[in-house]
Amino acid sequence: MHQLIERAELHDMSKAITTPHDGPQTIVISGAPGTGKSTLAVQVAHRCSNHFPDGQLYLNLLGTTPERPPMTSTEAAEALLEMLGPRPGQQMVTPERAGTLVRDILSDRQLLIVLDDAASVGQVRPLLPLGSRTTVVLTSRTRLASLPGTHLVTLGSLSTQAAVALLRTMLTDGRIERDPLAVARLIHLCGHLALPLRITAARLAARPSWSVSDMVDRLADEDRRLDELRVEDLDLRAILGVSLRALRDVDDEQQSVRRTFYALGQLPTNQIDLTTVAGLLGQPRTVAEAAIEQLVDLNLVESPTPGRYHLNPLIKLLTLQQ
């Protein structure tokens, strides 16, 4: 379901990847669940393929796959070794040697490697850099900002224009054009996020007799909205739930982060300022800021400007149904 949509980030990333540079290069695409990180990584890899004569590799690190543990660094290195093919005098690879061997093999190759859905810095740091002429595109729900020499790209929600363009790639039978008001409402109910829009479009494509208004009616009920955002192996509730489970697993020192997140869900508005957060917690502004900024780093909360925050309505809805 990697439908092509033109995002400004695609142009910027393509330019960064294809501009000559010395040494390895790592690009990190981060964003909230459902923002289209994996799709963007695949798109940019396809667009830049001619600049990598030794080819491209793709590996899903399973960082947030429901009911699956993330790959370890060693498992990821072994998977890359298998994709790179037989080696002269091939021997069993020990966990301690796997990452080093991958880097040795890639030292004279020019590849683009997509490492999709990284769980944490600790998972990918032992793998990097993957060869001096290799470009790595990482996707993750966390920012991974501490990785050295990275170009950071943070994805947010889609503009209305981009959301309409995405729907049109999947529904070419005129339903998008026939009811622009219903389309606008659909985009709003999907939180302007790429994944729920793809899910709703896939459901409409499978039901030619449904209008866009029919889909809007099904999403209008908040109690069933997340249940409606599911098709085949894509389940938005399960995908969002991975991030919430990780938040529940934080240690005692991080309790304020979890408490802040669920408190935000109780607010009547999705637009939040720091004073409101401090009042919710009954804590000084410095404590409140530290907690909510960690949620920003986890891409569970957006911060369009310093001291101002936004909670996506679909993420908020999930906090209310826990």
Distance in angstroms (rounded) separating the CA atoms of residues 306 and 182: 34
For residue 204, the cross-strand partners are none
Q: What is the pLDDT of residue 9?
A: 87
**b (16+ CB within 10 A) / e for 224-233:** ebbebbbbee
Question: Which one-letter amino acid corresponds to residue 68?
Answer: R
Distance in angstroms (rounded) separating the CA atoms of residues 242 and 32: 12
Q: What is the pLDDT of residue 79?
A: 92
Q: Which residues of the chain have pLDDT under 50?
A: 1-2
Q: What is the pLDDT of residue 93?
A: 65
Nearest alpha-carbon partner for 235 in 197, 268, 201, 199: 199
Question: Which one-letter amino acid corresponds to residue 214?
Answer: D
Beta-carbon count within 10 A of 195 CB: 24
Q: What is the pLDDT of residue 145?
A: 85
Residue 207 near residue 173, CB atoms below 8 Å? no
Q: 81 vs 96, 129, 132, CA distance in Å?
A: 14, 15, 17
Residue 190 near residue 166, CB atoms below 8 Å? no
Q: What is the pLDDT of residue 252?
A: 54
Cα 87–chain centre separation: 34
Record the pTM.
0.87
Residue 153 near residue 28, CB atoms below 8 Å? yes
